[in-house]
Amino acid sequence: MGLVRKLLPQLNEYILPYVLVALLLFALSGAAVESLLTEPSTINAYPPGVQVFPDTSVAEGLFYFPPAHERLTSTGKLLRVEAMPSWVAVPKGARAWRILYTSKMPSGSLTVVSGFVVAPSRPSPPGGFPVIAWAHATTGLAYLCAPSRFAYLDIPYLETFIAKGYVVAATDYQGLGTTGTLPYLVGSAEAEALLDSVKAAEQIPLAHASNNVIAFGYSEGGQGALFAGQIAHSYSPSLHLLGVVAEAPPTHLRELMVQIKNSKADLPFYVLLAYAWSITYHQPLNDMLTPTGMSRIGVLQSQCIAGIQEAYGNLQPNQVIPPHLLHHRRLSRLLKENDPGRSPITVPVLITQGGSDSIIPVSLTEETTKMMCDNEHDTVHLLVFPKANHGTILQASRRAVLSFMDNRFDNVKVQRRCIFQRY
């Protein structure tokens, strides 16, 4: 009870916005809510039941909270859409929307996920624009850490994508932006949210999104992109996945835990995982965090990654992580289940990694690539940039990534082989 009392002020800071919006929804009649919706010229082109919101400050508070009576029946269904607010900079020659759509939780239950879509504003080619399914890096667990709520569109190479005529579908992941808890580093959940965002984008008339897709992720999102490659054929057979790009993906999670116990660099990410898995997998939190680590956990509900790093920055790993963490058999099994690369990916895969990365060791990425090649995956190319770190790998690999994507969308034939290359 003492811990609950200590965390209560921080939890209230997180919960208060939800309470205020809930009261507003209760106060508004059904007719009043309906009056907030726009009637743009394209509204009749949307699938039945899609709510189209205006760009207004009133709708801003309501957008992320679908009606409580909303009946969820399938994944990848677009529920709500609004033009990106005017204070968000959209690249020249593009249009953008926030979206709410359906996906799945690790438990198998359907849920509502937020995200956004960016598309070229010019006429589309026959069949629509190719789609980049973007899986973002770690931002935090609090609702304000959802990229669709940011004041900018946080997607690498975005202006180039638009110039090339690519649509980008960007998921926030389950529980980030909407209610619930993000299933952090749960690979299958990330992949399902990613693939369902593309299906939702296809339902926006002016996006002109085709079903030709490349899964693209960085850091946490790199894990999601690799899992998307593993499940796309069975989970989303309507999509035509052409390739996977994973930049600095977390792999061999158990071995990564060993590094975390000896390094402060990964500590905030471990705290996120411990809290998220205590909810997602019902793993006892006191098995994963010491009392000192648990005493600061309330920061996860009100701060994004920078605030979490600050809160835990003066602690050593042994002050936060129990000494016998990896002796828990169930936890070891869950870590292994969320290692990417253990199931076949039948489309070409590009993995990039910085040789100076202190967050994701290059040795683990090389080991995962070797495992994928030994498992007779179609094609895996690993590009290591020795001078790049976790923060600079996106820029270092830019030319190689864009070339890979262009070739996949142009159906350039790829030889079935594994390539390990250092730049």
Of the candidates 276, 339, 321, the residue with the CA atom closest to the CA atom of residue 139 = 276
pTM summary value: 0.90
Instruction: Give me the pLDDT at residue 60, please.
Output: 59
Q: How far apart are CA 97 and CA 136, in angstroms?
A: 17
| Strands ordered across the beta sheet of 418-422 | 51-53, 78-83, 94-104, 110-120, 167-171, 129-135, 209-218, 240-247, 349-354, 380-385, 418-422
Residue 56: pLDDT band (50, 70, 90) is low
pLDDT of residue 62: 81
| Residue carrying structure tokens 């002016």 | 206
Crossing angle of the two packed helices 329-337 and 253-260, in degrees rounded to 10: 120
pLDDT digits (tens, 9 = 90+) for 60-115: 568 898 777 778 999 999 999 999 988 899 999 999 999 999 999 999 999 999 99
DSSP 247-286: ES----HHHHHHHHTT-STTHHHHHHHHHHHHHHS---HH
Res 394 pLDDT > 50: yes
How does residue 226 score in pLDDT terms, banded at 50, 70 and 90? very high
Segment (H or E) for 192:
helix 187-201
Please tell me the predicted confidence (pLDDT) of residue 59.
Answer: 54
